[in-house]
Structure 1
C-alpha cells in the first residue's frame, strides 16, 4: 500500500513539474521572441506537389549556386537522399560557396555526429536549432523550429511542407505516395525569406548577418502578390481565424493533423452556418501516434453541422494549405493543429493571385477525388477502444 502511495505521489509531482516547466518555459520564450510580418510583394511562384520534382529542382539550384546557400529544415534523415543532399552541400562549400545549414535538434535526431563533422570539415556552417535545455527542459523539448526555408544566392527561395528524407519521395512502404505542397519563389519576396533565415541563424548561433547587403538582392518584382508571415507560437491562431472569417462561399483546408483550437473549430462551425462550403482533407494513414484519434474528437460535430471531411486514400497527405474562396491561398509549414498554433516556429506564405489560387484549388480537388469521404453513420460504428484512444489523444493534443 505504501509503495502505491509513493508512486501516486511521484506521479503528482512529475505532472506538477511538467505543468510548471511548460508554463514558465512558454512565458520565457514569448518574452524573447518577435514575430515577423512582411509586407505584400509581387513574386514569381511555382508549386511543387511531388518530392521527386522538388528535390530535382532544389538540388539543381544548389548545384548552380555561386555565392551563398542558406537552408533550414525541420527534419533531415539518415538515408540515401539525405546523404546526397549533405554531400551536395559539402561539394559547394569546397568550391568556396558560403553554405549554412540549420536544422531542428529533435526533428533531425537521426543525423550522425560523423556526418556533422564531415560537413564542417568541408566548410559547411552547421547549427542545430531549438536545443532542449534547462531550466525548462520539458517545454524546450516540445517547442520546435518547424520551418523549411531554402535561399540560393539570395535570388531563389523555397518554402513548404517537404523535409529531406526517403518518405518524401514516396519510398516509405508504410506511408506510400507522399502528397505535399512546396513553393519556389523568385522576386523581392526572396529577401523576406532570406531575412527570416538570418533571424533564425542569429537566434541559434548569435552570428548577426542581417546587415550584410550581399545576401539581399534587387530582383524583378514578379506578377503574383504574396505575403510571408513567420510565427513563434502565439499568432498563427489569429491568422487562421481571419482566413476562416473571410470565407463567403468556400473554404478548403488540407492538413496532416486536424486538431484545431476551440476558437478555430467554432469559427468553422460558424462558417458552415452562414453558408460556407467547408472541405477538410486529412490523411487516412498516420505518421505519428494518436494524431488521427485526436482528429476524431472534432470530425463528427463538423459533419453534423454540414461540413465535409475526406481522408486521402493512396498514401500520406502532408500538405498545409488553406484556400479561401478565390481570394487567398495559404501554403507554408503551419499545420491546422495545436502544436503549430501554440508551440512551433512556423513560416507561411499567403498568396493573393487568382490564377495561382485556381491551380492550388484544382490540385486540392484532385486529391479529394483520390480520397474517401467520411460519413457520420460510419463514425458511429467505431469501437470502444477507438473512443478510449480518442479521449487520451484529446487530453494530450496540445503536444501531438
Structure 2
C-alpha cells in the first residue's frame, strides 16, 4: 500500500511539474499576432444543415487548393461525405491539405487516413505528444476550425463535422452555433494562420508560396482577426470588458472564465454595465455545467442576467460589447480556450453587421429561459458534490 501511495505521489508531482514547466515554455515561445483592420464580405450560419450545404458546394467548386482545419471529424455519414469530397478534389488535381485534432478526431481511422493519402490528400494530426512535457502537450489542442478555398473564401466558427452539428443527434438537436463565411482582404491572413499550423504539425513550410495567397478586393464590413494561444485570449477579454461602457453580451456553451476575466466582469457590473450571458440548458460534456454554476451564481447576485437556451444545444461562441464590437470565433468563454487551446476569433466593427448578429441572438434569447438565483441555491447535495469536483479540474474541462 505504501509503495502504491508513493507511486501515486510521484506521478502527481510529475504531472504538476510537467504542466507548469510546459506552460512556461509555451508562453515564452508564443508570438502575439493579429491582422490589421480589414474589409471583407461576411455571412453567418447559425444552422448546421445550411452551413454544410454551402460549405460542401464551395469545396466542390475549388480549382486550386483547399486547406481545412477541424477539431472534430467523426466516422458518421456527414463525415464520410466531407472526406469523400476532399478525396475527389485531390484526384482532380486540387491541392488538398487536411489538419485534424488527434483527440477530437480520434474516430478517423488509419484506413481512412490511408485512403485520403492514396487519393492525394495531404494529411496531418495536431496535438501530438511532445517531449519533455508529455502531459502539458496532451492538453494543448488546436481548436481552430477554419477552411480556406482557393485563397478567396474562408470559413471560421464553432461548427465541426459530425452528425450532431447537422441535427442528426436526437439528444442535442437542433444544434445552435455561429459560423462565418468570409471573403475579401482578410482571407490571406486566415491562410497564413493555417499554413503556420501546417508547418508546425505537417512539417512543411508553405508560407513563402505566393500562389497560395490571393489579392482579394475589399468587402463591406470592417473586422479584425486574432489567433490566440498560451493565455493571450485572457488579455483580449479583459481589455474588451474594461472598455465596455453600457452592455456586454456573452454567448458560450461553457462559462468557466479565468479569475482575472471574472473579476473584470464583476467590476463592469458594479460600474453599471448590463451583462447578459447565454448558456445551454443541456450539457454535451460531463461536469461543464457544474463548473459554470459558481460563476453564474455570483453573476446573478451581482445583477447580471443569465439565460438558458432551451431549443436544442447552444454551442455558439460570441461576445458583443456596447453594440460596437462583435466577437465570433472558435473560442469558448472558458479556461481551456483561454489558457490551453489554439483559437482564432473575428472581431467585427460594423454596426450594420452587428445588428444582423443581434437579430440572430435575439431569436436565441426568445428560445431561452432566464436562469434564476433560486435555481442555483436550492439545496442539492449531488449538484454541490459535482461542483466541487468540477471546480478542481475546471482548467481541463
Q: Which residue of 1 aligns with 2:183?
A: 186
Residues 107-122 of structure 1 aligned to structure 2 (within 5 Å): 107-122=104-119
Is 2:260 the counterpart of 1:283? no
**Is the contact made by 1:290 and 1:390 (CA closer than 8 Å) also made in structure 2?**
yes
Q: Which residue of 2 aligns with 1:214?
A: 211
**Is the contact made by 2:98 and 2:124 (CA closer than 8 Å) also made in structure 1?**
yes
Is 2:371 the counterpart of 1:374? yes
Give the aligned length: 397
Inter-CA distance 19–71: structure 2 relative to 1 (3 Å threshold): same
SS of the residue 2:219 aligns to? coil
Residues 22-171 of structure 1 aligned to structure 2 (within 5 Å): 22-171=19-168
Instruction: Please report how far the alpha carbon of residue 93 of structure 1 lies from its aligned counterpart in structure 2 after TM superposition.
Output: 0.2
Q: Which residue of 1 aligns with 2:11?
A: 14
Instruction: Please report how far the alpha carbon of residue 33 of structure 1 lies from its aligned counterpart in structure 2 after TM superposition.
Output: 2.8
**Is the contact made by 2:244 and 2:268 (CA closer than 8 Å) also made in structure 1?**
yes
Q: Which residue of 1 aligns with 2:221?
A: 224
Q: Distance in 2 between matches of 1:260 and 1:37?
A: 22
Q: What TM-score results when the alignment is normalised by the length of structure 2?
A: 0.98
RMSD: 1.1
Q: Which residue of 2 aligns with 1:253?
A: 250
Is 2:270 the counterpart of 1:273? yes
Out of 241, 244, 261, the position equivalent to 2:241 is: 244
Q: Distance in 2 between matches of 1:61 and 1:246?
A: 38
Residue deviations 1:213-269, cap 9 Å, x none?
A: 111111111110010000112210010111111221111100010000111111111
- Which shifted more, 350-359 or 374-383? 374-383
**Is the contact made by 2:30 and 2:230 (CA closer than 8 Å) also made in structure 1?**
no
Instruction: Please report how far the alpha carbon of residue 313 of structure 1 lies from its aligned counterpart in structure 2 after TM superposition.
Output: 0.9
Q: What TM-score results when the alignment is normalised by the length of structure 1?
A: 0.97
Is 2:336 the counterpart of 1:339? yes
SS of the residue 2:294 aligns to? coil
Q: Distance in 2 between matches of 1:301 and 1:116?
A: 47
Out of 254, 261, 265, the position equivalent to 1:264 is: 261
Residue deviations 1:171-203, cap 9 Å, x none?
A: 111112101000000001001100100111011
Q: Distance in 2 between matches of 1:370 and 1:69?
A: 36
Q: Which 4+ runs in 1 deviate beyond 6 A? A: none
